[in-house]
Amino acid sequence: MSSFRFMVLTACAVWVAAVPYARAQEAKTTVPATYVGSKKCQACHGGEYARFEKYSRMTRSYSDVLIMKRGLTREEYQKCLECHTTGFGKPGGFRSAKETPRMKEVGCEACHGPGSIHVQSSDPKDIKKVVSETDCQACHAGDRIKAFRFRPMLYGGAH
Ligand code: HEC
Ligand code: HEC
Ligand code: HEC
Ligand code: HEC
């Protein structure tokens, strides 16, 4: 075998071995967090959980829509769920009351983002602490946020 062919073959072998390795590394470091539901946060944040359950209307967001389901078309009803559930249509998020009962109401992750990585690691770096007006705008119309004056609403809606 010529040394040139040998070099080409070696290079190919290294490349073939390296690509799946690189992909595995990439998958390990960049796999995005998924939604897990507020119940998972209770074990370590009992205080926030209890206050949120007791005082926030968000914990009734699904039941509120259910009350109005009669009289809505299927499309209209689906549209409601985009704002009245947690992680609608996103990995781990709400799909249906039967498949994902823990994602029914608007929960912790509506503001703090998907928590699967943080739940495993307990590392504060893996979860969003500072939430912004933009986070609320996915569901709350901008003029409504202004009418509430953003700051009091931010804390009033939390825990
Ligand atoms: C296994 C324990 C554990 C679970 C489960 C857990 N956390 Fe945490 N979390 C911690 C610890 C430890 C800290 C750092 C100390 C602290 O602030 O209490 C923390 C901090 C935080 C912070 C503050 C981050 C910062 O930058 O200071 C937020 C927000 C938070 N958690 C939200 C959540 C949410 C939402 C869930 C559920 C999806 C959750 N946590 C589930 C252990 C946990
Ligand atoms: C774009 C997001 C969004 C959609 C879509 C949406 N809602 Fe809401 N809904 C909200 C927000 C945000 C609030 C809280 C309003 C506030 O206090 O400013 C709310 C509040 C409510 C309330 C409580 C009202 C009260 O004052 O007690 C009911 C009931 C409700 N929505 C039903 C529905 C129904 C039924 C649908 C579908 C036809 C729907 N919503 C679609 C975001 C949405
Ligand atoms: C409506 C939005 C919202 C929801 C829902 C929400 N939080 Fe928060 N959370 C906040 C805000 C705002 C802060 C304060 C961040 C700051 O200090 O700037 C915060 C702070 C925290 C902190 C850091 C410690 C502290 O109290 O400052 C933890 C832990 C936390 N939240 C856990 C939870 C858990 C658990 C749930 C669900 C039971 C939850 N949050 C639901 C908005 C929310
Ligand atoms: C996934 C959609 C969603 C997101 C994101 C969201 N909210 Fe809400 N929020 C709702 C819905 C739906 C309601 C009404 C629940 C009901 O009454 O049925 C609500 C209700 C509220 C209320 C009424 C008071 C109460 O008891 O909870 C406040 C305040 C509030 N949200 C603040 C915030 C703030 C501040 C943010 C951003 C940091 C935020 N929300 C992000 C969907 C959302």
For 111-135, the pLDDT digits (tens) are: 999 999 999 999 999 999 988 888 8
Q: How many CA atoms lie within 13 A of 11 on its CB side?
A: 6
- Expressed in angstroms and rounded, the spacing between residue 84 Cα and the centre of ligand 2 is 7
Distance 89 CA to ligand 3 centre (A): 23
pLDDT at residue 155 in the model: 66
Ligand 2, atom 18, residue with closest C-alpha: 144
Tell me what the pLDDT averaged over the chain comes to: 82
Which residue would you say has higher pLDDT here, 46 or 154?
46
Hey, what amino acid is at 90?
K
Q: Whose CA is nearest to atom 33 of ligand 1?
A: 41
Q: How much is the average pLDDT of 49-67?
A: 92
Per 3-state DSSP, what percentage of the chain is helix, strand, and coil (rounded to 5)? 65, 0, 35
- Report the alpha-carbon angle 47-53-59, nearest 5: 145
Please report the pLDDT score of residue 16 as a whole number: 44
Query: Separation of 45 CA from ligand 4 center, angstroms?
Result: 20
Q: Is the CB of 156 under 6 A from ligand 4?
A: yes
Ligand 3, atom 8, lies closest to the CA of: 158
| Residue keyed to tokens 């809606």 | 157
CA–CA dist 101, 17 (Å, integer) = 43
Identify the structural domains of the chain with CATH numbers, from first to last. 35-156 (1.10.1130.10)
DSSP assignments along 44-97, one per residue: T-HHHHHHHHHH-GGGGHHHHHHHT-TT--HHHHHHHHHHHSSSTTSTTS-S-T
